[in-house]
Structure 1
Amino acid sequence: MDVNRILCFFRKRVVLSLIFLFSLAYFLLQFNALQLIKIQNRKFQDDDIEFEEISIKRESPLIWRSLKEYNLTENEICRNSQQGINLIVDERGFICLRDNLKATGCCDIQAEQTHIYFCDTCDANCCEIYENCVSCCLNPDNVPILQKAIAQASDRQKLLFSRVTDQFDLCLSICRSNSNSVVNEHYYKSSKRHCFTKTESSE
């Protein structure tokens, strides 16, 4: 009887020891795996920072508009802002009603309501209407203002601006993404929320 008790005692000790060893091994494996994940995440973060620093550098100079006369031939093809329900602005700076948009993508400059470098709803380079902002922004006279806006932009904005090729792409982007007129994600400082420059109140 005593022998059976002794054997039972040792069996329990062996079982408990095995359970302890397995638990310890599991803990060590999990701990090592967690450390490996942390190291990998840190490496990915470092890679992201390095990638962002590289990406901010432009591969080619941004093409600015000049005061030269535009080639207003009938077969000219234009890029335009596309998404406007009522208004469209083309890459030359003309803004028109969507009904006056030609098959080439250019605004019909003969239409009565077509304007160039239109700043009608704008004040201090901020506009109520997105298309007005883009048209006004495309005025070659605004190149120094845009260059200053790029210089004062956040790193995230600079990364975005580094991907644009010319003044039209820049105006499309900056009039949509400029946050200087924003109080928070739900409210704007004024109805003129489409800006292509740094506003005085944000400085």
Structure 2
Amino acid sequence: MQLFIVSQQDLEERMLDKYKRTAHRHIQWLADSAWRSGSDINETTGETACRNTRQGKTTVTDDRGYTCDRSYLMLNGCCEVIPLSVRFNCNGCDLHSGCCSFYEHCVGCCMRPDQKEILLEMIETTSGHRLRQILSATDQFELCTLKCRTSSNSVHSENKYKSEALKYCYKQEPNHPFSR
């Protein structure tokens, strides 16, 4: 009779691999979701509430993908949708590298429904502690806030950015150096 000894680390790696393969099912994606109808866009009462990026000094991005000035942030945490509102804001972002000048724009750009496949590829190529963090996300907003906040793709070393202009990244390491 053979005994198989499986270490705790092996079990954890197998579990992470399983979750990695099923990430497309356990993360709620904007591309697959009808979870926000147009009728609740500017609702300030009732059950509609938004999470948002919070830390921006002058701007925030909510979990619907709207970026707004703090003065347009409603009591329910959602950005008020006005004619100047921008959804999935990629201003100041290099779409090829997925890196942006502002954290809020990184999150907004990452929230675009067409980013699902890119984010799934990023999950596939991630491992270890970083994978555990990423797999804790339950929806695209959480994944984007995590990825933009803690990306190592924008730094050469601990305190040297690859580009002073593009510090927040939601994609994997670019295949070419930054041009800015």
Q: C-alpha displacement at 1:159, in angstroms?
A: 1.1
Does 2:80 match 1:108?
Answer: yes
**1:21 corresponds to:** none
Q: Distance in 1 between matches of 2:175 and 2:149?
A: 19
Q: C-alpha displacement at 1:54, in angstroms?
A: 6.1
Give the helix-richer structure, 1 or 2: 1
Q: Deviations over 1:124-183 (max 9, x none)?
A: 211010000000000001111111111112322211111110101000000111211210
Q: Within 5 Å, which residues of 2 pair with 1:28-47?
A: 47=8
| Structure 2 residue runs without a partner (length 5+) | 1-6
Q: C-alpha displacement at 1:110, in angstroms?
A: 1.4
SS at match of 1:171: helix
SS at match of 1:135: helix
* One-letter code aligned to 1:71: S
Q: Report the TM-score, using the length of structure 1 for normalisation.
A: 0.69
Q: C-alpha displacement at 1:104, in angstroms?
A: 0.6
Q: Between the two proteins, what is the percent identity of the paired residues?
A: 34
SS at match of 2:107: helix
Q: Within 5 Å, which residues of 2 pair with 1:77-96?
A: 77-96=49-68
Q: Within 5 Å, which residues of 2 pair with 1:154-165?
A: 154-165=127-138
- Judged with a 3 Å threshold, the aligned counterparts in structure 2 of structure 1 residues 98 and 55 are, in CA distance, closer, same or farther, namely farther
Identify which of 172, 175, 178 aligns with 1:200.
175
Q: Within 5 Å, which residues of 2 pair with 1:1-203?
A: 47=8, 49-50=9-10, 52-53=12-13, 56=16, 57-58=18-19, 61-66=26-31, 68=34, 70-72=36-38, 73=40, 74=43, 75=45, 76-110=48-82, 112=84, 114-123=85-94, 124=96, 125-190=98-163, 191-198=165-172, 199-201=174-176
Q: C-alpha displacement at 1:51, in angstroms?
A: 6.9
SS at match of 1:133: helix
| Structure 1 residue runs without a partner (length 5+) | 1-45
Q: Distance in 2 between matches of 1:104 and 1:169?
A: 18
Q: CA RMSD in A?
A: 2.3
Q: C-alpha displacement at 1:55, in angstroms?
A: 6.1
Q: Report the TM-score, using the length of structure 2 for normalisation.
A: 0.77
